[in-house]
């Protein structure tokens, strides 16, 4: 069902009305809706003029959709018989009818837009009905009537208060809602029922969510279309590939054998994989197979052969400028089987072969994919593979010295005082990885793996020749 969502979150109210988590709530809801492939209109910390623009855009787009969702997190209240959703300019502590009309959305205004629309299902979610300044004012919402085909869900029952905090940086209500909203084939009414029960239990009975409904059809937020991340368009079971469960198909058996870490299973699995026409594999299957080809390479010779001839092997999996097998290979370098960033424990055994493809136009989209996936971790990495390459200069400061090995023999060496990449001193980190011994070329191999970068981009600058390096720590290696 084609769905349009308008999502608003307001924190920056004046004085003691300021909130902490409404924007967090709205942002996470909007991201979840995007993962569900909904069209999302999103705005945070709205001033009065924003509301007119948002409602106009929402109303003008509704004819193109089958369902609509409106979500609001912030201050909401009733005044003089009207229900209002406050912008951050609303004088919440001392409202007047005229100030409310100019600085708020009237709930009746929203329901009138929905009443005139042709959408079959309409969902309004208000995380705002409050008694106190924790998120609201002195009175709760007045009676509302849902237009036909509409469900209006409130975070509390009339007259109850609600907490701005509750679960993982969210209000109690939205935090619980987020736990259920992605569950497959859970009807909207069952979802709100589960949410109500959990909110009640977690608040020790002090908060009960409430809905008014005139739905005449069924709606499911997730019918299997949900993706793990906006930037990672694959199912969670292959992004967190520890969750993969074989359904017994031939392709699932290939995936299971590749994941086995047993080369007696991996080699024949690779042979069977090569015989399958690419169009018979969906993107999730190709992605997880790519991950496990990299994992198996270096152990299973058929996987190693695939990586040794990567350019030609991957070509047949290109489809509309996408290559999901290569996406899986790139993802496996940086992320573990729980979908978590490896934080320095990267899989670097084949990066020279993989990164050699970065300037090939037919693989360009894969390198854009990994660029997006790595965006949250830019402060933790030194290089992202792509066209915009630049040399990574490593500055090594050393001095000539002597050390006595365990046999009592004094040896000449070069003691490393510091290693800098950009403005970062990585001396202690490289000491733990590299230890003592080796020349500058050997150190460069360590740096390539640490930086996860192509050899040709890593340039080591040293103030003296190095042929037997060591660090300041006590000698633990025989030179």
Q: Band the pLDDT of 131: cuts 50, 70, 90.
A: very low
What's the rounded Cα separation, in Å, for the pair 209 and 195? 8
Per-residue pLDDT at 417 exceeds 60: yes
Q: Band the pLDDT of 448: cuts 50, 70, 90.
A: very high
Helical spans, DSSP H, in 106-235 = 107-116, 172-180, 188-202
Name the 3-class secondary structure at 161: coil
Query: What token pair was written down for 414?
Result: 């070069």
What DSSP string describes 32-59? HHHHTT-EEEEEES--HHHHHHHHHHHH
Between 182 and 103, residue with greater pLDDT: 103
Cβ neighbours of residue 229 closer than 8 Å, sequence gap 6 or more: 35, 239, 373
Burial 86-103 (b: 16+ CB within 10 A, else e): bbbbbebeebeeebbeeb
Q: Find how far residue 40's CA is from the centre of its chain.
A: 17
Write down the pLDDT at residue 475. Answer: 41
Per-residue pLDDT at 214 exceeds 80: yes
Write down the pLDDT at residue 434. Answer: 85
Q: Band the pLDDT of 427: cuts 50, 70, 90.
A: very high
What's the rounded Cα separation, in Å, for the pair 436 and 416? 10
Query: What token pair was written down for 49?
Result: 């003029």
Write down the pLDDT at residue 136. Answer: 40
Write down the pLDDT at residue 129. Answer: 53
pLDDT tens digits for range 228-243:
777 788 988 899 988 8
Task: Supply the DSSP symbol for 87.
Answer: -
Write down the pLDDT at residue 142. Answer: 61
Q: Band the pLDDT of 162: cuts 50, 70, 90.
A: low
Least-confidence region, from 76-80, 170-174, 184-188: 76-80
Q: How many CB atoms lie within 10 A of CB 473?
A: 11
> Percent of the chain scored above 70 by pLDDT?
93
CA distances from 428 to 5, 129, 399, 413, 434 (A): 50, 54, 17, 18, 10
Across 158-167, 244-253, 373-382, the highest mean pLDDT is recorded for 244-253
What's the rounded Cα separation, in Å, for the pair 19 and 164? 7
Per-residue pLDDT at 130 exceeds 90: no
Between 226 and 464, residue with greater pLDDT: 464
Query: What token pair was written down for 37?
Result: 């492939």
Per-residue pLDDT at 132 exceeds 50: no
Segment 177-184 shows an average pLDDT of 89
Own/partner long-range contacts of 418-421 (Cβ < 8 Å, ≥24 apart): 419/394, 419/395, 420/394, 420/395, 421/382, 421/392, 421/393, 421/394, 421/395, 421/451
Global pTM reads 0.63
Per-residue pLDDT at 85 exceeds 50: yes
Helical spans, DSSP H, in 225-262 = 236-239, 250-258
- Residue of 229, 212, 154, 218 whose CA lies nearest to 185: 218
Per-residue pLDDT at 7 exceeds 60: yes
Query: What token pair was written down for 238?
Result: 């292959």
Least-confidence region, from 46-55, 87-96, 345-354, 379-388: 379-388
Per-residue pLDDT at 133 exceeds 50: no
- Residue of 181, 191, 219, 208 whose CA lies nearest to 25: 181
Per-residue pLDDT at 140 exceeds 80: no
Per-residue pLDDT at 307 exceeds 70: yes
Q: Band the pLDDT of 165: cuts 50, 70, 90.
A: low
Between 282 and 473, residue with greater pLDDT: 282
Asked if residues 54 and 113 have their Cβ atoms less than 8 Å apart, the reply is no
Write down the pLDDT at residue 320. Answer: 86
Between 291 and 15, residue with greater pLDDT: 291
What DSSP string describes 209-232? -EEEE---S--BSBSS---S-SSS
């Amino acid at each position: 069902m084609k769905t349009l969502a308008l999502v608003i979150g307001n924190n920056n109210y004046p004085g003691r009305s300021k909130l902490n988590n409404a924007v967090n709530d709205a942002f996470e809801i909007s991201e979840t809706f995007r993962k569900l492939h909904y069209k999302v209109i999103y705005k945070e910390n709205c001033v009065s003029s924003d509301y007119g623009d948002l409602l106009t855009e929402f109303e003008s787009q509704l004819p193109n959709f089958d369902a609509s969702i409106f979500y609001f997190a912030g201050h909401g209240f009733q005044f003089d018989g009207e229900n209002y959703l406050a912008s951050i300019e609303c004088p919440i502590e001392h409202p007047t009818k005229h100030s409310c009309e100019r600085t708020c959305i009237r709930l009746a205004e929203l329901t009138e837009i929905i009443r005139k629309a042709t959408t079959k299902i309409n969902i309004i979610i208000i995380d705002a009905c409050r008694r106190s300044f924790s998120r609201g004012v002195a009175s709760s919402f007045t009676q509302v009537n849902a237009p036909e085909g509409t469900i209006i869900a409130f975070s509390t029952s009339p007259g109850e208060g609600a907490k701005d905090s509750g679960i993982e940086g969210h209000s109690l209500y939205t935090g619980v809602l987020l736990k259920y909203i992605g569950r497959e084939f859970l009807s909207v009414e069952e979802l709100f029922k589960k949410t109500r029960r959990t909110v009640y239990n977690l608040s020790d009975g002090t908060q009960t969510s409430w809905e008014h409904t005139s739905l005449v059809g069924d709606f499911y937020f997730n019918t299997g279309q949900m993706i793990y991340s906006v930037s990672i368009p694959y199912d969670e079971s292959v992004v967190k590939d520890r969750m993969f469960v074989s359904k017994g198909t031939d392709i699932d058996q290939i995936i299971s054998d590749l994941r086995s870490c047993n080369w007696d299973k991996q080699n024949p699995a690779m042979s069977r994989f090569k015989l399958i026409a690419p169009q018979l594999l969906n993107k999730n299957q190709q992605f997880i197979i790519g991950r496990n080809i990299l994992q198996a390479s270096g152990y299973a010779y058929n996987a190693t052969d695939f990586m040794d001839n990567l350019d030609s092997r991957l070509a047949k999996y290109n489809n509309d400028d996408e290559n999901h097998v290569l996406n899986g290979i790139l993802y496996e370098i940086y992320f573990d089987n729980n979908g978590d960033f490896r934080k320095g424990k990267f899989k670097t055994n084949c990066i020279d072969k993989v990164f050699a493809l970065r300037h090939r136009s037919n693989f360009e989209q894969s390198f854009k994919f990994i660029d997006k996936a790595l965006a949250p971790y830019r402060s933790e990495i030194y290089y992202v593979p792509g066209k915009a390459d630049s040399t990574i200069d490593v500055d090594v400061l050393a001095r000539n010295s002597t050390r006595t090995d365990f046999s009592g023999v004094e040896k000449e060496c070069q003691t490393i005082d510091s290693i800098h990449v950009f403005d970062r001193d990585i001396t202690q980190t490289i000491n733990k990885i590299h230890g003592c011994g080796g020349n500058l070329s050997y150190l460069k191999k360590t740096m390539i793996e640490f930086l996860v970068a192509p050899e040709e981009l890593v340039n080591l600058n040293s103030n003296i020749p190095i042929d037997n390096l060591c660090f300041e720590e006590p000698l633990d290696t025989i030179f």
